[in-house]
Structure 1
């Protein structure tokens, strides 16, 4: 063990381990998910590990110890799928939609030419560790069985009942809301009822619709491994799950030892200098400062209804602040002089700038974490999935407000912006949350690397697994025990009633005999 004292801090570095061959599977077509994990994968490569990454966003320049397997197939019909999310659906239809989306992604991975030629043939290659995005893509967990290697999951949105099951974690429905429900940990009775029903529907849909399809894919593309290990056993055999979450960002809850919070592992602690034109625009804002507006990577501002864009343009034109707007076209008709548009912005570096006063966001988790890290208040305009939950948490914590982008008026939009900029409690709360979040013994990235190499050092670290990973649903929730106790109680009650009936019947027969 090597101990180094640096500026009063005690850094403990584990002994070097042998370089490992690592297969990472992150094929999601939304760039934000890969943005979250790519610094982690690059750091593993920089430490000598040989990383092969299956993804939709290959590196533009070759990187030492890093090999890309691009999966362009995942982009087929992706924009149409995103637009479908705005269609009204009940909870069962919503789960069917999500399941189909992830089944298509899983199939794209397992039918990719480079995957089928270099990874799937038996004996073709070997890996020491599998790292996957643990999000409803159970069939490609089969790489762990295929290579007989331990598996680490990364959840880029935190955790839910489905992620918890990978490591036997507890998810009390009384204070753990379904990610898509938009509730916080402080639920009313009605919200708890809704959360219970929606989670039950999601669980049933997962078991009855999603898993049979994933099992068919697993058996088809991993025929040898599937004969050794059932998929239902494989997806309960994770060595570690890394969560893009932290209690200071959301709410405290229980985690088993092999569930580690690394929220914000993609954020550099040394912001880079901004491009010259961008820096000059920001500096020219004077004391009023700048508002940064981005709807993330999946929702495009250029695709907003024309009436919504005009509402925003008129609002921005009436503000004393300057506005940076992530807009995906070269031109924005009617753009006022105080608005700067670009198809891409270095978001963390912008949020680190002292002149940025407010972040108008879709409420994605990465954006929410970045806003907290840099202590900026937010105005949330959520569109789908966990964005409603993230915006509600911002309101509950006191560092943000939210609006419905479909129904908000210009007066509501402007009034909410002015309130967030002028009322000091929002910025002060954001700074306090930033202080709490940053107060960690190790950076999230260092934590992720340390635990990953811990798994490698200890050959899968199976000593961290709770017994719950090996229990079925009924045993885990003690439903078998409750059933046995209830059955026993009913049996005793039945026998007691029969005995009482017999006694009562026997007494009546004696009385009849005396009368005769």
Structure 2
């Protein structure tokens, strides 16, 4: 008996020793004040805290969960006031704006946010404390400014995106950037490009790389040095040595493309099991005789800020529908509201979409909203406004789970017809059921995958052994621009020399023949 007990204890100790997870100190900075971004990041820092890591997070949307005892959240919610008003954002980042204008608007705002984050007194006390140590820095990867903290604390870094990333960020880890096969995420068309779309995608790729490397990176580096001093490495070098990029993409919504080992796809980070609806809302949904259409333009595009003519089209369309319409309307009242329309400033979207009486979801095409709709198997009518929304909705249209209209040109008749078709045509339900099965058929959840690779980076000191050699290749070298220029110059010199020799030879008098 004693021998068996001793054997059991030794075995248990051995198992526990293998299961032991080193408790690391992790700093996360997620600066963009949009709940649709933050809801993805929240799941990561919550899980890391639950796994015993000491986590410090700078965020405009703290969890404020008292059960997370080893989590310190620095609330920078005041930076929301620095973002342009909703109507200005919708204008500056409109899908109809040239891509350079969209990127300039985003990065101008991001530089303002970077400066504001560094100014925060509570955060200032951390990065100015010479005794503070971190094993890893996690940053929101859309803007490179916070990679400077990896230089300050001399530790590895991980970039995390709540959606995809633009071409220069793919390039930072050496990911393939073929502008025709894999256009930038802000371009609406990602397959079967015509010749003019190919030309524009190539132009856009070159512009983004030049703009990012020569303006965004330098401006961000100057801001970082203003607060962290000149002892840190150049920001561009820090960004190109990121341990991993965790991106929230999947094959249903995004173009399939090759990835180097440092790109980790997450997916469905914030999806959870449905919770019971509030009694009033559940009763309303239960009693909707013909079913419910849910209408929401998300957190960054607000219904109250859209064009008055478009609001009128929406109202007239809803009034003609045979359904109850739940509209996320961000004001206290809606003028000329039809009787079948119910407005709220906020709905529990994941739980609402899970109700069997919801027939269709009218959405702007935000990635988190799309993930929720697929998870709850609700087909969509898409109205893309900004950023990557045209790209994601076009992909969903190809998959047969959504009908898409341009909000600039859509008519009442078109919108009404599409809503009724999506709500009644069983093919949309079949296709979205298929998409859900494909999306969820994976060996682990997106959150489990993300946390595993974060801990991998800590265990392997940034995992430099996984760095692709293409990460150090400049974009112009990747497309052989240097080779093309050298060959062109050589050809030019050869042709000039040949012409010079020809001219000389042509002046040599020929011997007369008798």
Q: Provide the rounded CA distance (Å) in 2 between the counterparts of 1:82 and 1:182.
A: 21
Match of 2:264 among 260, 265, 273: 260
Q: Say if 1:463 and 1:223 are closer, same or farther in 2 by CA, change over 3 A.
A: same
SS of the residue corresponding to residue 210 of structure 1 reads helix
Contact map agreement 1:246 1:263 (CA 8 A) in 2: yes
Match of 1:192 in 2: 198
Match of 1:283 among 286, 294, 309: 286
Alpha-carbon distance in structure 2 between the residues aligned to 1:68 and 1:300: 28
Deviation of 1:152 after TM superposition, in Å, equals: 0.6
For 1:344, which of 325, 341, 346 is the aligned residue? 346
Select between 479-488 and 91-100 the one with higher mean Cα deviation.
479-488
The aligned residue for residue 208 of structure 2 is 202
Q: Which of 461-470 and 310-319 deviates more?
A: 310-319
Q: Which residue of 1 aligns with 2:49?
A: 45
Instruction: Indicate how the Cα distance of structure 1 residues 405 and 441 shifts in structure 2: closer, same or farther if over 3 A, else same.
Output: same
Q: Is the 8 A contact 1:153 1:241 kept in 2?
A: yes
* 8 Å CA contact retained: 1:24, 1:53: yes
- 2:459 aligns with 457
Displacement, 1:310? Answer: 4.2
Are residues 187 and 89 of structure 1, via their aligned partners in 2, closer, same or farther at CA, if it must alter by over 3 Å?
closer
Whether 1:131 aligns to 2:138 is yes
Q: Deviations over 1:7-27 (max 9, x none)?
A: xxxxxx984321111111111
Contact 2:99/2:187 (<8 A) preserved: no
Which residue does the alignment assign to 2:125? 117
Residue 489 (structure 1) shift: 5.2
Shift in Å, 1:244: 0.6
Query: Which stretch shifts more, 182-191 or 324-333?
Result: 324-333
**Residue 105 (structure 1) aligns with:** 113
Cα displacement string for residues 416-460 of structure 1 (whole angstroms, at most 9, x for unaligned residues): 111111222222211111111111111111111111111112121
**Residue number among 63, 79, 94 corresponding to 1:74 in the alignment:** 79
**1:215 Cα shift?**
2.1
2:475, 2:407 → 1: CA distance? 40
Retained in 1: the 8 A contact 2:383–2:406?
Answer: yes
Q: Deviations over 1:440-499 (max 9, x none)?
A: 111111111111111112121111110112233344444334444454555566666667
Q: Residues 496 and 314 from structure 1, CA distance in 2 versus in 1: closer, same or farther, beyond 3 angstroms?
A: closer
Return the offset for 1:306. Answer: 4.7
Residue aligning to 2:155: 149
> Following TM superposition, by how much is the alpha carbon of 1:351 offset from its aligned partner in structure 2, in angstroms?
2.1
2:166 corresponds to: 160
Is 1:95 aligned to residue 98 of structure 2?
no
Determine which of 233, 247, 251 is the counterpart of 2:251: 247
Provide the rounded CA distance (Å) in 1 between the counterparts of 2:168 and 2:188: 17
**CA offset at residue 205 of structure 1?**
2.7
Q: Distance in 1 between matches of 2:87 and 2:225?
A: 30
Quick one: distance in 1 between partners of 2:478 and 2:318? 54
- Residue-pair matches, total: 494
Structure 1 partner of 2:277 = 274
Compare 24-33 and 109-118 and name the one that shifted more. 109-118
Distance in 2 between the 1:313 and 1:177 partners? 36
Task: Provide the secondary structure at the position in 1 that maps to 2:260.
Answer: coil
Q: Distance in 1 between matches of 2:487 and 2:336?
A: 72
Shift of 1:281: 1.4
Q: How does 1:394-473 map to 2 (within 5 A)?
A: 394-473=396-475
Contact 1:242 1:448 in 2 (8 A): yes
Contact kept in structure 2, 1:377 and 1:430, CA below 8 Å: yes
Distance in 1 (CA, whole Å) between partners of 2:231 and 2:411 is: 57
Q: Does 1:331 align with 2:339?
A: no
1:217 aligns with 223
Find the counterpart in structure 1 of residue 295 from structure 2.
Answer: 293
Q: Secondary structure at the match of 1:76?
A: helix
TM-score by length of 1: 0.88
Aligned to 1:9: none
- In structure 2, do the counterparts of structure 1 residues 374 and 225 end up closer, same or farther at CA, with 3 Å as the change threshold? farther
Matched position secondary structure for 1:225: coil
Work out the CA distance in 1 between the residues paired with 2:358 and 2:455: 38
**Residue 318 of structure 2: aligned partner:** 316
Secondary structure of the 1:242 match is strand
For the residues of structure 2 that align with 1:112 and 1:360, how far apart are their CA atoms?
Answer: 39
Which has the larger displacement, 353-362 or 483-492? Answer: 483-492
Separation (CA, whole Å) in 1 of partners of 2:191 and 2:152: 39
Distance 2:286 2:277 in 1: 11
CA-to-partner distance for each residue in 1:230-271, whole Å, 9 max, x for gaps?
112111011000111012322210100110111211112x22
Q: Is the 8 A contact 2:102 2:387 kept in 1?
A: no
**CA-to-aligned-CA distance 1:42-79 (integer Å, 9 cap, x gap):** 01110001111111112244332211111234212424
CA distance in 2 between counterparts of 1:154 and 1:388 reads 22
Distance 1:49 1:369 in 2: 29
Contact 1:177 1:195 (8 Å CA) reproduced: yes
Deviations 1:327-378 (A, max 9, x none): 2233334444433322222222222232222111011111122222332211
Give the TM-score taking structure 2 as reference length: 0.89
Deviation at 1:505, TM superposition (A): 5.9
Specify whether residues 500 and 315 from structure 1 end up closer, same or farther in structure 2 by C-alpha distance, changes over 3 A only. closer
SS at match of 1:411: helix
